[in-house]
Structure 1
């Protein structure tokens, strides 16, 4: 099955979280992959909870499908699957730049890349924004001595920690200047203006929250119509 771990469990792997109750996957929405997903959920004794039902139509529209596992080894675990997300690349692109990890027991884990995971976290949910901050801080702490160019760009583009942004801008002034065209708040970081930076970070977050709310409005209307139809 072509699926990428995302959500809280992926954040655990990246060092941004210590625990997550649910398991979230981005999956390829095609007939063959959906059959494999159905078989995997059957092995877990998992059933769809709430709405919508599992279908290519719902996944391709951007709905999440929610399962609850009843297998003794995964009793009560919730599994959520999605294929399309606001501002996130198509699955083929996500797959090409995925992160592959191997556990001590040889298990292979396919994760959404850190930049893509951060993009997927830009929602209207309160819990996602502190997680973005922790993900960048964890990556910086682990790699600050010998960062790759792509990591420096990621930190400057996505960090939500004012003092870290100011430090990065001080040590990588030219890159910060270059990226400020796409992220104007980096100008405040370059100037070392923490007050202006905090204000801009808040406005940046509010902008994404409003965009996510608008994105989900028609999808939520569809879900409500499904609930009413099922209740008849």
Structure 2
């Protein structure tokens, strides 16, 4: 997941680290621990590499001496992202020369994971969905249309999708229509306000500037939700930092910080 996954999908994001979404089951954590030991990984400050910490939604940060000090960030729970089993079932498997198959978080879940407070993540969210729309607009399915209506953030693309949504099911082979999907619009949730704006814009009843403003307001609400999610976790991190600082003061000369 993270910046490296965005590069795979063509929504490029320069990234100096590797973010991993993991299954936090004990046997899998043991395997991860063994791999990190091979990489001579050290935990960077706080939080510690512990199952209960991951279960609360914290990311654990490592610096890997055997990989040019590359940073690895590990998470098991993310706001708005389904559990590991669902993400695993929806993953993309990408073959990399000299490496082998790499399991990359699916676009839908990666988009959800990227809806965070930092400014840098929102252009990536937009590009991820735009790339998906350009790639599959000619092969719509109810699930894809629902995803696009939920997540498209480029006004022109959202208007195009809203205009085409009634015909999303398309025509099957031999002249038979595939089952129409009237549930596609409803599947976006109780109501994504900007979809109604996009439909009005598609009929010429609303300028794109109004849709663009509505999308900005929606983004602000998502940022506020992410801030509310992280606020108690940040308070926990501050408490961990203070506790680690007190322990560090008690260490004899030459005492080290937390390591894996």
TM (norm. structure 1) is 0.90
* C-alpha distance in structure 2 between counterparts of 1:182 and 1:200, whole Å: 14
User: Which of residues 177, 195, 199 is equivalent to 1:186?
Assistant: 195
Q: Secondary structure at the match of 2:102?
A: strand
User: Which of residues 77, 80, 83 is equivalent to 1:84?
Assistant: 77
Q: In the alignment, is the contact (CA less than 8 A) between 2:126 and 2:154 conserved in 1?
A: yes
* C-alpha distance in structure 1 between counterparts of 2:157 and 2:236, whole Å: 42
Q: Secondary structure at the match of 2:193?
A: coil
| Residue aligning to 1:204 | 218
1:58-117 deviations in whole A, cap 9, x for unaligned?
00011100001111xx20211000001111111122112222222244611111111111
Deviation (angstroms), 1:184: 1.8
1:10 paired with 2:5, answer: yes
User: Which of residues 136, 151, 169 is equivalent to 2:144?
Assistant: 151
Q: Secondary structure at the match of 1:146?
A: coil
Q: Secondary structure at the match of 1:100?
A: strand
Whichever of the two has the greater Rg, that structure is 2
| Residue aligning to 2:125 | 132
Q: In the alignment, is the contact (CA less than 8 A) between 2:146 and 2:185 conserved in 1?
A: no
Q: Secondary structure at the match of 1:185?
A: helix
1:4-44 deviations in whole A, cap 9, x for unaligned?
xx000111111111532110011111211111111111111
Q: In the alignment, is the contact (CA less than 8 A) between 1:15 and 1:139 conserved in 2?
A: no
Classify 1:67/1:200 alpha carbon distance in 2 versus 1 (closer, same or farther; 3 Å). same
* C-alpha distance in structure 2 between counterparts of 1:30 and 1:224, whole Å: 27
1:122 paired with 2:115, answer: yes
* C-alpha distance in structure 1 between counterparts of 2:77 and 2:185, whole Å: 33
Deviates more, 1:162-171 or 1:172-181: 172-181
1:225 paired with 2:234, answer: no
TM (norm. structure 2) is 0.81
Gaps of 5+ in 2: 168-181, 247-260
* C-alpha distance in structure 2 between counterparts of 1:104 and 1:155, whole Å: 32
Deviates more, 1:15-24 or 1:45-54: 15-24
Deviates more, 1:88-97 or 1:111-120: 88-97
1:101 paired with 2:101, answer: no
1:53 paired with 2:48, answer: yes
1:120-167 deviations in whole A, cap 9, x for unaligned?
111111111110001111122223333443222222210110011111
* C-alpha distance in structure 2 between counterparts of 1:129 and 1:98, whole Å: 21
What is the aligned residue count?
225
Deviates more, 1:145-154 or 1:160-169: 145-154
| Residue aligning to 1:169 | 162
| Residue aligning to 2:21 | 26
